[in-house]
Chain A
């Protein structure tokens, strides 16, 4: 691989992976905060507002890091991927500009109001500001997904005389079926991160005998949301997303499964290591015919393998693609098990005493982050070697004027900067967790800050 190409790919991959650790929590927490505020309004119980205030602070910290790591993403379209921008800007400029105009303004304006305006606003108005933050963050997610979906499955464009893609149908762009499945699946993933974060902190407080009443609220809301979203993540959204890949990027599906040879009644590989030299899976643990069934709902259906495609169309890192996909699916399955058991215990009113389960909930915090990251790696590695599927190869999209040396310089700079940012972020969040949920009076003193 051309070294400048590699540097630019790593540059984007590193910065976007780090960036997405933060929006996935804010997008996941936003609806849960609305739920807490709604309960507070309905039941007129301050405990829900205290809980919402606590999570709004965590949200606020994540939002700031999300914004400062998000600006580099927009910039990199121009700085590191200028040939791609010239080619695709006429189409995806639409969705990216709409994100700025519709989502960011909404989210940032009302987040300020939500965080600093609780005393000035009526409870109703404060509830509305939570809803506006939720809408803003989920709209933002949609426009980004619509952008990525166009790169996965380009629709609604024509190729102009200068060779660049130009918008021909706005509705096709925003109603792209790929975008809607991917959006549903991605937001479900974010909601799972939010739900696990909430239950994990709740479990931590219960286990350490602190803020127990708030902790029960966190766990109740988190487990119910987690149970719903982990199941939706498998069906229908995961299934729908998988079908999109099977129909429109069959070679990607073959790569995800590391299915070297096409066959009727293809097996599903649970565990095993792709061996690219011998074109087989080492140490496989398989479920016969399962892949055919999952993809086409017929046990004997023919699934195309990598051998059906010329090698220059194959995703360029099949083992990593295969692992990303299997990690995502494996973790997703475990999440369902955890949340269903927790919900059962909650229903039987045994969860708050079941220390073993609280420990599991506490320790599960990092795994939704891993699953979400692996999911995005599946999407992006799976699209390779294309930058815009079928239209532009990744190798043609980067900035030819920015040398590998300059790219490496800024990549290292970002690594250093993000390390500092990450440490400071953990420090701030730990401090909020240490401090715990507080009443509005004592919160004013603490938020002092200001």
Chain B
């Protein structure tokens, strides 16, 4: 039950957010099949924990956090992606860009370590601010900024199909990938 005293309706929660949750799960896992499982798991968990959601306006972030937790469990069970190192990142990509191929986009996402992929997806979905991403990932905002900058750079570089012109990160903003 949330602060307004009215119970949050699970059916409405599903109705309003299932497509977003599925899309997010799909981009996170890179698999439609896994995305369906994650979506179903997320709403089953939401059903059990519904009383912990007190503010309906936070439902989206709450559900995405559940999806991410479920996905991290999957990763630990050995279903993880091979991730590239982002210790060195590209300079801003060439401005002349080819149209984006959806499969290539997903392949580029799959290459990223999860802690870079998650904020990137949330950012491009335009559903979350940096602070919300930081809150959901339990990570300082500065770390989210840094990871996003590197992940965006990787993505642009990868989609621009050009050889990375690598450069060291500025001092104080490095972190292990």
Pairing of A with B: no
Q: Which residues of B contact A (CB under 8 A)?
A: none
Q: Which residues of A contact B (CB under 8 A)?
A: none
